[in-house]
Amino acid sequence: MTKREQNTDVVAVSATPKRTYWERNNATDGYLFKRDFGRIFGGIFTVVLLFGLCFLILQPLLHQFANSIMSRDDLFDPTVITLPRYPTWVNYNLAVYLMDYWGSLLRSLGITLAVSVLQIAVCTLVAYGFARFDFPFKRFWFACAMLTIIVPPHILRAALFLNFAFFDIFGIFTLTTGDSLNLLNTLQGYLVLSATAMGLRNGLYIFMLRQYFRNMPKELEESAWVDGCNKLRTFAQIMLPDAVPIVISCFLFAFVWQWTDSFYSGMFLRGFNVMSLQMSGLGDMFISHYVVAAQGGDALSLTPPTALVQAIISTGVLIGIAPIVLIYLFAQRFFVESIGQSGIKM
């Protein structure tokens, strides 16, 4: 085709009148409109749904933050609902003082990090054993591990109290020292509990890690065994590096739950003033502080207003969970990656 003929075809095409949207829709028997309507409606529905979910999640935090920066006049002003008229940071200064925030933060970081690392290390070994090896009563022991997820820890409060108040291993301590050990309100007691994979939600970590190891190809282990690796070296050098995403996710879960736990912390860490106990007891600490500050006044001034107590509690909760929020912002990709790779199935 010559260049003149090509130009003639281009002119003929450009001279063809363009059909309107409805003409094209009629030519497709209404399919074009149905497709575009479905896309637009689906997009609007998705936006509304995501907005609603985000609002449900963020609204309590926004409400807590609004309360935390309200002055005393705003708290008792019925016209102030959400946005304070006279914002102030006095509540934050008082909460930091009452909670001994920086000291509690450092103690909580050290204890939570040590306990979380120990729990995940033990749970990873247990999960690998359940996933790759056969041993007597394997299903029974795995069912027992799953029971730790189902049974609330509060049901075990009396048993835990007695076991650690009179801690002994086959009577060895009583035989050698004449008395058992009291591991309540000690970090050693909680470390012993974590080292036996019986800590906070350890059954869930075992389940998640077991499912991940089950889905890994057995050929990796077999090739390592052929090359002369023993089972422990195969686990450490072949299996564990591939399981880094799920291990980090379980560690983050352990860190977050340990940070906000008050059950085990109240039993083993009461003397350490960790962040979870400081947050749960902030209301009582503020009432005591208020009563001491109001000494010499009338009887009504000795009772702090409920709104003021709630504002201080809201402030303490926000500064208490701030490290957890920062950790999640930097580590959220590990959650997504682990969920995509774990392939939870029985």
Nearest to 190 by CA among 105, 99, 261: 261
Q: Give the pLDDT confidence score for residue 13 in this predicted structure.
A: 44
CB 71 within 8 A of CB 307: no
Partners of 167 in the β-ladder? 181
Q: Give the pLDDT confidence score for residue 207 in this predicted structure.
A: 92
Partners of 46 in the β-ladder? none
CB 208 within 8 A of CB 246: yes
Mark the ranges of the chain whose per-residue pLDDT is less than 70. Answer: 1-18, 295-301, 334-346
Q: In the chain, how many H helices and how many E strands?
A: 19, 0
Q: Give the pLDDT confidence score for residue 291 in this predicted structure.
A: 82
Q: Give the pLDDT confidence score for residue 298 in this predicted structure.
A: 52
Q: Give the pLDDT confidence score for residue 345 in this predicted structure.
A: 43
pTM here is: 0.78
In CATH, which superfamily holds the domain spanning 100-341? MetI-like (1.10.3720.10)
What are the residue ranges spanned by the domains of the chain?
A: 2-68, 100-341
Instruction: Tell how far CA 29 is from the center of its chain.
Output: 51
Q: What is the pLDDT of residues 3-35, one digit of tens each?
A: 555 544 444 444 455 678 777 878 877 788 888
CB 71 within 8 A of CB 86: yes
Q: Give the pLDDT confidence score for residue 337 in this predicted structure.
A: 61
Q: Give the pLDDT confidence score for residue 346 in this predicted structure.
A: 38
> Count of CB atoms within 10 A of residue 185's CB?
16
156: exposed, middle or buried (C-beta count within 10 Å: 0-12, 13-18, 19+)?
A: middle
> Count of CB atoms within 10 A of residue 336's CB?
11
Q: Give the pLDDT confidence score for residue 140 in this predicted structure.
A: 92
H or E stretch at 318: helix 306-342
Q: What is the pLDDT of residues 135-153, one digit of tens each?
A: 888 899 999 888 888 888 8
Helix, strand, coil share of the chain (percent; to 5): 75, 0, 25
